[in-house]
Chain A
């Protein structure tokens, strides 16, 4: 039930005016979807997705039910939160690896960008924007604490 009302919400918002104000409209990306069997109608009809899509394990773990909203929260979570996570993963791995300092630094820095892009994408695939915002903060805090503990022991 929740999912169908969610789709109705999106469709009702879809009109030309939203484009003129420059607000990104999720419906517009319908154009870029290659025709798939589950393409929804574009008028303001209620859409019911009565078929149950089986989620793979990965999707169940990482997606929940993604919803689009609260743009600014997600964008900041992606840009700033993502950088925070990447920076802390960088420091953490640099401290963690048992390699010589130069090598650990190299490995950590080279990985950091992959982490950044994954965090950015995750911020846009989670259901709640609040979670998308909090998750990077919590992960960063934990990693920062761990890094500090490791480097103080040295």
Chain B
């Protein structure tokens, strides 16, 4: 009895995993990159690399807000709102922005942002058009090229599959504690299974958390039935009750004088003490309904809420303040959401999340590779007789090559495109994204014709070289290279260079291991295959049998 249940669960785990693993790999990869979304955005804008960074200075606040207000007052005409972004740890620059009224047919007006150089009135407006880190952020739930709603349904569907795969995986891993520390490299498919087990079990709490909280972020779209039951489907009322502080007040149309933003600072300080302010938004300036909102930098508080204080723009009286008392349920929801977005994480924890995300990618990749290796072994008898491999096997091997080897290469191409595409190119930001997908497509094309070890080596080495030379690219195309950055303490940029170098080196190390471990390991293969029918000597070496775990990372 037990055997049948485990057999069904094993079958379920295999197929639920296999059918969606490549989309999930893209999602996990893009999600892991998104942990460093702001850092990547910073790197992709070399115009900001020298002379713009500054720390948050509490005693300069008044001056900064005053000059911001003056500037926005002079420069903008009938804007919908004005924004002053104060320096934070991850966006270490001061900027002024404004959003225009939407034109006919637009949902939102155009947004402009100018970076202010420290200690001077100079502003930078000619920052190159690039999606930067937001490309990866959007990729992991909105995918690309397809309407966002549709993409979110696809990603949600795949995430449900992932959740079922995780649960069935836990159920079938009978020796979870005995095999907790086992990883036997160079033993063929047994190594792949070990790698799959290790990358899933080690970060199991993370995988379960990220999958479930991922569903929770879009849960009102996937499961609106509670809202339907309790609010008769009235989403607007529900949202207003959920987030009362986000309700926008409409401009009244009557003109009124705007008070000085800086004059509100003592009140803010009274309630928030020395907590840094993240940004100040002035909505409907010069209107009698104008509002001035101060947003607090929540630092390492595990919350996703935008803690804000809203004042009237005309009289300066305090209208609302959060955090208001929230119920335990609301707090749970907030915590779960923030666990997924990890906005609260300091740099170490962020790095840890990134590593766990990469382990998730390893889990998915080793799973797919394991399946391909096993099936190739199973079919080896016929293949050596001259028949071609089954369509399923060819498809899986091709998709493996495209996504597992192609994603790192596509990422490095994205960054090269960011630096090398001409600045005046129309729709430059979209072109960078297109380069990413064109690379994936080219690798896919290669996979149609050649899925052997040499293709893997080629694509992985190109990706590895691309990533390793990113610091050099940065030095050649940016006003400050890595040495300058170390000297001036711009650690974000240093970190990016070093991390990409490190990832590139790991890829190259993998390729080296691929080159050296090409000896037929038939004895090991025979010992590890479960089917007795595979006991004959395999003449043609399975290209993937001897690869080690790092290939998947």
What is the interface of chain A, defined by CB distance below 8 A to chain B?
A: 3, 6, 16, 19-20, 22, 24, 26, 28-36, 38-43, 49, 53, 55, 59, 63, 65-68, 78, 86-88, 90-91, 93-95, 99-110, 112-114, 116-117, 120-121, 124-125, 147, 151
Name the prevailing secondary structure of the B interface residues: helix
- Name the CB-closest residue of B to A151: B229
Query: Chain B 350-388, CB within 8 Å of chain A: the 1/0 string?
Result: 000000000000000000001000110011011000000
Which one of A3, A20, A63 lies within 8 Å of B390 (CB-CB)?
Answer: A20
Name, among B12, B241, B379, the residue most crowded by chain A CB atoms within 10 Å (CB to CB).
B12
B2 beta carbon closer than 8 Å to chain A: yes
- Is A102 in contact with B330, judged by CB distance below 8 angstroms? yes
- In the bound assembly, the distance between CA atoms of A39 and B2 in angstroms comes to 12
Q: Which residue of B lies closest to A52 (CB)?
A: B1
B327→A100 contact, CB < 8 A? yes
Query: Could you tell me the distance in whole angstroms from the C-beta of B305 to the nearest C-beta in chain A?
Result: 14
CB distance from A17 to the nearest CB of B (A): 9
Contacting pair B219 A22 (CB below 8 A)? no
Q: Are A65 and B529 in contact (CB under 8 A)?
A: no
**Chain B residue, CB-CB nearest to A35:** B530
Which of A38, A43, A78, A108 lies in contact with B3, CB distance below 8 A?
A38
A29, B174: Cβ atoms closer than 8 Å: no
Contact status A24-B223, CB under 8 Å: no
> CB distance B226 to A93 under 8 Å?
yes
B5 contact set on A, CB distance < 8 A: 59, 63, 66, 125
Residue B248, interface by CB 8 Å: no
Query: Which of A33, A55, A101 lies in contact with B231, CB distance below 8 A?
Result: A101
Taking a contact as CB atoms under 8 Å apart, the answer to whether B15 and A24 are in contact is yes
Chain A residues with CB below 8 A from B392, complex form: 19-20, 22
Identify 14 new A-B residue pairs, CB closer than 8 A, beyond the known A20-B391, A33-B172, A105-B238: A3-B1, A20-B390, A24-B14, A29-B14, A38-B2, A87-B225, A90-B226, A90-B229, A101-B230, A102-B329, A106-B330, A112-B226, A113-B163, A121-B9
Whether A117 lies near B164 (C-beta < 8 A) is yes
> Which of B10, B11, B382, B533: most chain A CB closer than 10 A?
B11
Q: Which residues of A contact B378 (CB under 8 A)?
A: 16, 19, 28, 31
**A92 CA to B160 CA, complexed, in Å:** 21
- Rounded to whole Å, the gap between the CB of A51 and the closest CB of chain B is 11
Contacts A/B (CB < 8 Å), 24 sampled: A19-B393, A20-B392, A24-B11, A26-B7, A30-B7, A33-B7, A33-B10, A34-B179, A39-B530, A42-B532, A59-B2, A66-B5, A68-B8, A86-B223, A87-B223, A90-B226, A104-B230, A105-B227, A106-B226, A108-B226, A110-B219, A113-B222, A124-B8, A124-B11
Chain B neighbourhood of A116, CB < 8 A: 160
Pick the residue among A53, A68, A90, A94 that contacts B11 (CB under 8 A).
A68
Cα A42 to Cα B167 with chains together (Å) = 28
Least CB distance, A132 to chain B, in whole angstroms: 11
List B314-350 residues whose CB lies under 8 Å from chain A.
327, 329-330, 332-333, 336
Report yes or no: A110 in contact with B216, Cβ–Cβ below 8 A: yes
Q: CA A31 – CA B533 in complex, angstroms?
A: 12
What's the minimum C-beta distance from B511 to chain A, rounded to whole angstroms? 28
Judge whether A102 and B238 touch: CB under 8 Å: yes
A65 contacts which of B4, B167, B189, B231 (Cβ < 8 Å)? B4
Residue among B215, B230, B231, B241 having the largest count of chain A Cβ atoms under 10 Å:
B230
Nearest A-chain residue to B156, judged by Cβ: A113
Cα–Cα, bound, A130→B233 (Å): 34
Residue numbers in B under 8 Å from A120 (CB-CB): 160, 164
Instruction: Contact check, A95 vs B229: say whether CB atoms are below 8 A apart.
Output: yes
Nearest A-chain residue to B14, judged by Cβ: A29
| B175, CB-defined interface residue at 8 Å | yes
Task: A35 to B216: give the CA distance in the assembly, Å.
Answer: 38
* A31 B2 Cβ-Cβ under 8 A: no
Q: How far is the CB of A62 from the nearest CB of chain B, in Å?
A: 9
Q: Are B530's CB and A94's CB within 8 A?
A: no
Check if A19 sits within 8 Å of B390, measured CB to CB: yes
B193 contact set on A, CB distance < 8 A: 32
- Whether A31 touches B223, Cβ cut-off 8 Å, given contacts A55-B1, A95-B230, is no
> How many Å from the CB of A136 to the closest CB on chain B?
15
Check if B531 is an interface residue, CB within 8 A of chain A: yes
**Chain A residues, CB < 8 A from B531:** 30-31, 42
| Shortest CB distance B205–A (Å) | 16
By beta carbon, the residue of chain B nearest A60 is B1
Report chain B residues within 8 Å CB of A55.
1-2
Most buried by B among A16, A55, A117: A117
What is the CA–CA distance of A16 and B164 in the complex, to the nearest angstrom? 28
Alpha-carbon gap, A40 to B6, bound state (A): 13
Q: In the complex, which residues of chain B have a beta carbon less than 8 angstroms from the beta carbon of A63?
A: 1, 5
Between A59, A87, A151, the greatest number of chain B beta carbons within 10 A of the residue's beta carbon is seen for A87
